[in-house]
Amino acid sequence: MLRNTYRNFLALCLCCVTAAAQPVPQPLPEQPLPEHPVKRYATDLAPSADLLYRIKAQQSGFSLSGNAKVAWRAQDREYSISTQTEAAILGRILEADSSGEIDTFGLAPLQSTEKRFRKPRTTTHFNRQDKTIRFTESELSYPLQGGEQDRTSAIWQLVAVARAAPNKFKAGSQWRFFVAGQRDAQAWSFKVIGKEAIDTPLGTLQAMHVLKAPPPDSKEQQLDIWLAPTRDWYPVRLRFSEADNDSIEQTLERIDRIN
């Protein structure tokens, strides 16, 4: 039973640090392309840092744990994000990376990769020359129109938007991006819920709660994010919730700033 529980924990964790929604079915050839918002928000990128997170999961009535490290770098018109996630007993279960340029839209990914436990690495390419998004895991492609993100960069683009317009980043406001996953892409909408006090290993922090809710009647994950203005708007907590009430939560426990 414990083995099955850890196997389920692995399945729940695979996309936890990359802000990933569960993969959606690929559209049929005759269906129109998904809504593709093009939004040019003002951005102010967070300072480069290594962020260490503590992970807790509720899976089939069991509480399980793990940890994650996110290396965020932004310098000289380039950025990179590297994430490593480990679970108790299983060891490393996910590596996710995003790298690219910094342009007038903010983060402009060139490539994102994911390496899951016992699975081959997958890559999503943002080809700036022919202006297309392509995938190693599917034949789909999408036009690059500006502002598109991958699942790893989307949260850091949201952080940059919040830092640039803190007075507009208030309860009820919504911020939309077009986000590419491993095999397809879709519009994501982040809604600001409001300011909340959350307990972390860094102390009690006032943080802005942001929600990415799944579409009605969808079985996709719900993503809740808490960004702390007093901590450079870094994500200090993220929670991924399933339709069956299983969940995984990651809470920031240390920030190592990079000079």
Q: Tell me the C-alpha to C-alpha distance, in Å, between residue 234 and each of 145, 162, 223, 253.
A: 27, 10, 16, 12
Q: pLDDT tens digit string along 15-47?
A: 444 444 444 444 444 456 678 988 899 999 999
Q: pLDDT tens digit string along 200-256?
A: 999 999 999 999 977 766 667 789 999 999 999 999 999 988 877 788 899 999 999
* Exposure class string for 61-94: b at 16+ Cβ within 10 A, else e: eeebebebbbbbbbeeeebbbbbbbbbeebeebb
Residue 13's pLDDT band, with cuts at 50, 70 and 90, is low
How far is the C-alpha of 140 from the C-alpha of 85, rounded, in Å?
A: 28
Please check whether residue 238 is in contact with residue 19, taking contact to mean a CB–CB distance below 8 angstroms. yes
Q: Kindly tell me if the per-residue pLDDT of 150 is higher than 80.
A: yes
Q: Kindly tell me if the per-residue pLDDT of 3 is higher than 50.
A: no
- What fold, for 2-19+35-257? YmcC-like fold (2.40.360)
Q: Tell me the C-alpha to C-alpha distance, in Å, between residue 130 and each of 106, 127, 153.
A: 20, 6, 21
Q: What are phi and psi of 26, to 5 degrees?
A: -65, 140
